[in-house]
Amino acid sequence: MRLVLLGPPGVGKGTQGRRLATERGWALISTGDMLRDAVARQTPLGKQAKQIMDAGQLVPDDVMVGLVRERTSEADTREGFVLDGFPRTVPQADALGAMLAERSQELDLAVLLQAPDEELVRRLSSRWECPVCRRVYNSLSAPAKDGRHCDDHPGTGLRQREDDSEATVRRRLEVYRRQTAPLVEYYRSRGRLREVTGIGALDEVYGALALAVAG
């Protein structure tokens, strides 16, 4: 199964996508995580991407398409993949379709997760992440056991993402509405769209997602 998780920042694409991919044996491809790794390693890509990401803007399409083209040709994607954070523009969606077609493959589904803006802003400002395994915690709804360190990496302090400040989150929501939301119609008109609520307990949202993927 090859699927795209669509939805605004903070709706739970990463958390739910990670669980879905792990349970089904599919690869999780998070372009945000790939970029954050490149920033941490100070690669040329990381240097180019850092300012753009901190400003809540989008990295150029050709860069992202190149990254995803390479990543989706790795062996662990053979049984399928979950894309989190890609495509984010219509040209990226076109490029994804074309690269799969070149391999005689296609995208099976785009699943849209939704939640109101105020909920997204609230979630993102209480979001904390383990820099080692990228597990995401929420100080309000899903805190780490001791509140400060990763449950799986006890010596590692959690940190907040630089782009999770309220002003940047609002900019990311605007960018989402302008550049990414058109993909909802894009996939709906191709008969590939399923919609799932991103509101509720993690397990409930996951249940709805699993149903959408099965049905």
Q: Could you give the residue numbers annotated as active site?
A: 13, 88, 127, 161, 172
Name which of 146 and 162 has its Cβ closer to ligand AMP: 162
Shortest Cβ contact with ligand AMP: which residue? 32
- Does residue 87 have a cis bond before it (omega within 30 degrees)? yes
One-character DSSP codes across 6-69: E--TTSSHHHHHHHHHHHHTPEEEEHHHHHHHHHHTT-HHHHHHHHHHHTT-PPPHHHHHHHHH
Is 9 a residue that touches ligand AMP (CB under 6 A)? yes
CB 144 within 8 A of CB 48: no
Is 53 a residue that touches ligand AMP (CB under 6 A)? yes
Residues 20, 21, 64, 173: which binds ligand AMP (CB under 6 A)? 64
- Nearest of 56, 36, 55 to residue 46 by alpha carbon: 36
Is 39 a residue that touches ligand AMP (CB under 6 A)? no
- How far is residue 115's CA from residue 99's CA, in Å, rounded to a whole number? 31
Segment lying near ligand AMP (by CB under 6 A), choices 52-60, 74-82, 107-115, 133-141: 52-60
Is 172 a residue that touches ligand AMP (CB under 6 A)? yes
CB 176 within 8 A of CB 160: no
Task: Find the helix or strand (DSSP H, E) in which 163 lies.
Answer: none
Is 58 a residue that touches ligand AMP (CB under 6 A)? yes
Q: What is the DSSP letter of 74?
A: S
Name which of 127 and 194 has its Cβ closer to ligand AMP: 127
Is 52 a residue that touches ligand AMP (CB under 6 A)? yes
Residues 86, 128, 186, 206: which binds ligand AMP (CB under 6 A)? 86
CA distances from 99 to 87, 94, 115, 178 (A): 13, 9, 31, 25
Is 56 a residue that touches ligand AMP (CB under 6 A)? yes
Residues 6, 85, 121, 183: which binds ligand AMP (CB under 6 A)? 85
Residues 18, 88, 122, 194: which binds ligand AMP (CB under 6 A)? 88
Is 32 a residue that touches ligand AMP (CB under 6 A)? yes
Q: Contact residues for ligand AMP (CB under 6 A)?
A: 9, 31-32, 35, 52-53, 56-59, 64, 85-86, 88, 92, 163, 172
